[in-house]
Structure 1
């Protein structure tokens, strides 16, 4: 599901920027590092990507396997206390954003992703 929003740039500029949103579907479901070696913790996250331009939707779709792999890898190596805290969740989100931007910059020459939004975040463990 994609949503395109037009956003006017300051009045002194006639240019327009179109922000687009793209969901990583299906939801990301992965294990995380549990404090107890005998139990597994898991997290289920619905991730939406804010793209800096609607023209980048095709680029993001092309790189979707890479984007999903990055998100799964980052969440999967987080400790339990970070997954379960609000500040930890924000740290995870920022790490995902920075890594996605860096990898897309390497692949395409521009960061493409403007922000990462968690619309659902469930954990157990």
Structure 2
């Protein structure tokens, strides 16, 4: 009897957790949009004689598939914002892992603010760097 009770409890818990994860997947209707072509821009290097550059592939996580067309429409603004932020970064930030995360967060915040101003809603959920290369002094 005790064994039967444990099996029933396990079956019910698997059913409950399985249904909740399926519901969570139904609610998440994210879309992804790449900033094409890759961003290649200069950054502030330590040496005035050498120029540093960064090459990054950026993917935007869009809150809803229905907002994908809105994000595509504003692609020039989104690309320009990301390029501008990278161009303002010092070499230490570009080259470090924590700096890279700071840059990603700064881009995310700026993109969210721009889309809020332009569309009145939150369109961009996250920014993902899928390739990140830098060269410089």
Normalising by structure 2, we get a TM-score of 0.81
> Residue in 2 aligned with 1:80?
91
In the TM superposition, 1:1-80 aligns within 5 A as: 8-9=23-24, 16-80=27-91
Structure 1 runs, 4 residues or longer, greater than 6 Å off = none
- Residue 5 of structure 2 is matched in structure 1 by none
Q: Quick check: which has more Rg, 1 or 2?
A: 2
1:16 Cα deviation (Å)?
Answer: 3.0
Higher helix proportion (structure 1 or 2)? 2
Aligned residues: 115
Distance 2:40 2:97 in 1: 19
Unmatched 5+ stretches in structure 2: 1-21
CA distance in 2, matches of 1:8, 1:26: 36
Deviation per CA, 1:50-103: give whole Å up to 9, x if none. Answer: 000000110000000000000000000000000000000000000000000011
RMSD: 1.4
Q: TM-score, normalised by structure 1?
A: 0.88
Matches within 5 A, 1:110-125: 110-125=121-136
Give me the whole-angstrom Cα distance separating, in 1, the residues matched to 2:65 and 2:124: 11
Distance 1:88 1:110 in 2: 28
Q: Deviation at 1:9?
A: 3.4
User: Which has more strand, going by share of residues?
Assistant: 1
Q: Output the CA distance in 1 between the equivalents of 2:85 and 2:23.
A: 34
Deviation at 1:32, TM superposition (A): 0.1
